[in-house]
């Protein structure tokens, strides 16, 4: 009983970086820009966040630094693909490769350093409820922030005017341009916010989750977040579901091992990927939905007056 509660809590914490990065990338892609640099942005943000938290002793400063680093990386990417019309796929890949190397290089002095001890997290009153407390109410505030972000993102994209414009820019930039909307500026803002969210995800890994810095700390989670947005057919609620599912199955396979279940651990290690893809493909298999949700101009450069 209590073990199940702890498994739920661990799944939520494990899925949080994927929620943050996945939602950031979703916003990017809804505006028509595909950024394959997620892994690189998360790594640079992870070291920036860790260094900031280490020097100030404040996790919050780490998050701000992570967001800034992610946005900074995204700004470079945005300038290249939006104003200089470079190929989005190649530029994104370059950003990932650069981020991997750069974070390792600047992080050398931070390896083996230890952050100040974290205070245990508990939502007052609610944390003491049996089962429900340890499962849902003893988590880091960022876990709840990520859930709230999914709701805000859904509202923004489907219920707000600005969100409608952003989607229009992703669907048909030429039409949006003809209506007088600044397509490039809107895309750039989406890229910046997407980068900042990937940055917060990276900082969450190094400041709260691990909490330490080593080279390659993100370990492929940026790529998983990218895949997640596509498998979730660009819907915030499904990104949330997919991320927690991935975290849940990851934790489940460790729990099965510690319970002594007789399945080869290599097979168990594969399960999170398999389960997440299967579930998301099953709930998103309606071709009409996929057509409706996939931004029509994803990855295509836009030349105003071209």
Partner 1 sequence: MNKRSLFKAGLAAAALAAFSLTAFAAEPLKAAWVYVGPVGDAGWTYAHDLGRKAVEKKFGAKVKTTYVENVPEGADAERVIRDLAAQGNKIIFATSFGFMEPMLRVAQEFPDVKFEHATGYKTAPNMRIYDASFYQDTYMAGIIAAQMSKTGTLGFVGSFPIPEVLRNINGFTLGAQTVNPNIKVKVVWVNTWFDPPKESEAAQSLINAGADVLLQNTDSSAVLQTAEKNGKYAFGWDSDMSAFAKKAHLGSAIANWGPYYERAIGDMLNGTWKTTRTVLGVPDGVNDLIKISPAVPAATKAQVEKVKAGLKAGKFEVFTGPIVTNEGKEVLAKGKTADQAWKDGVNFYVKGVEGKIPSGN
Contact stretch for partner 1 (CB under 8 A) within 123-131, 157-165, 185-193, 254-262? 254-262
Q: How far is the CB of 299 from partner 1 (least distance, A)?
A: 30
Query: Does the footprint of partner 1 cover residue 259 (CB under 8 A)?
Result: yes
Q: Among the candidate windows 22-30, 65-73, 90-98, 248-256, which touches partner 1 by CB under 8 A?
A: 248-256
Binding mask 83-112 for partner 1 (x = CB under 8 A): ---------------------x---x--xx
Give first-to-last CA distance, the chain, whole Å.
Answer: 63
**Considering the complex, what minimum distance in angstroms separates the CB of residue 169 from partner 1?**
35
- Stretch binding partner 1 (CB under 8 A), from 145-153, 251-259, 279-287, 294-302: 251-259
Among 269, 274, 278, 290, binds partner 1 (CB under 8 A): 269
| Site mask for partner 1 (CB under 8 A), range 219-238, x = bound | x-x-----------------
**Residue 119 engages partner 1 in binding (rule: CB under 8 A):** no
Q: How many residues bind partner 1 (CB under 8 A)?
A: 36
Mark the segment that binds partner 1 (CB under 8 A) among 34-42, 215-223, 235-243, 282-290.
215-223
Q: Which of 124, 159, 180, 262 binds partner 1 (CB under 8 A)?
A: 262
**Is residue 198 near partner 1 by the rule CB under 8 A?**
no
* CB 152, min distance to partner 1, A: 26
Q: Exposed, middle or buried by CB within 10 Å (0-12, 13-18, 19+), for 152?
A: middle
CA distance 191 to 26: 10
> Of 104 and 154, which has the nearer Cβ to partner 1?
104
Residues in contact with partner 1 by the rule CB under 8 A:
3, 6-7, 10, 14, 104, 108, 111-112, 114, 117-118, 205, 209-212, 214-215, 217, 219, 221, 250-251, 254-255, 257-262, 264-266, 269
């Amino acid at each position: 009983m209590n073990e199940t509660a702890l498994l739920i809590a661990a799944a939520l914490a494990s899925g949080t970086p994927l929620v943050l990065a996945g939602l950031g990338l979703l916003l990017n892609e809804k505006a028509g820009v595909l950024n394959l640099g997620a892994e690189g942005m998360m790594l640079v943000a992870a070291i920036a966040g860790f260094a900031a938290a280490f020097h100030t002793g404040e996790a919050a400063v780490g998050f701000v630094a992570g967001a800034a680093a992610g946005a900074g990386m995204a700004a470079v990417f945005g300038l290249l693909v939006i104003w200089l019309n470079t190929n989005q796929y190649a530029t994104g890949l370059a950003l990932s490769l650069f981020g991997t190397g750069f974070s390792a290089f600047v992080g050398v002095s931070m390896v083996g350093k230890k952050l100040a001890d974290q205070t245990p997290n508990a939502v007052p009153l609610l944390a003491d409820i049996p089962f429900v407390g340890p499962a849902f109410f003893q988590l880091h505030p960022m876990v709840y922030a990520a859930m709230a972000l999914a709701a805000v993102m859904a509202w923004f994209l489907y219920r707000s005017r600005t969100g409608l414009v952003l989607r229009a820019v992703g669907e048909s930039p030429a039409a949006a341009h003809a209506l007088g909307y600044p397509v490039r500026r809107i895309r750039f803002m989406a890229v910046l916010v997407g980068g900042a969210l990937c940055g917060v995800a990276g900082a969450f890994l190094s400041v709260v989750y691990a909490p330490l810095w080593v080279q390659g700390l993100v370990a492929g989670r940026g790529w998983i977040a990218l895949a997640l947005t596509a498998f979730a057919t660009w819907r915030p609620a499904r990104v949330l579901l997919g991320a927690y599912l991935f975290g849940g199955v990851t934790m489940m396979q460790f729990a099965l091992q510690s319970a002594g279940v007789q399945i080869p651990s290599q097979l168990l290690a594969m399960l999170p990927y398999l389960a997440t893809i299967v579930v998301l493909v099953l709930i998103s298999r309606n071709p009409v939905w996929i057509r409706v949700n996939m931004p029509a101009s994803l990855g295509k450069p836009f030349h105003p007056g071209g």
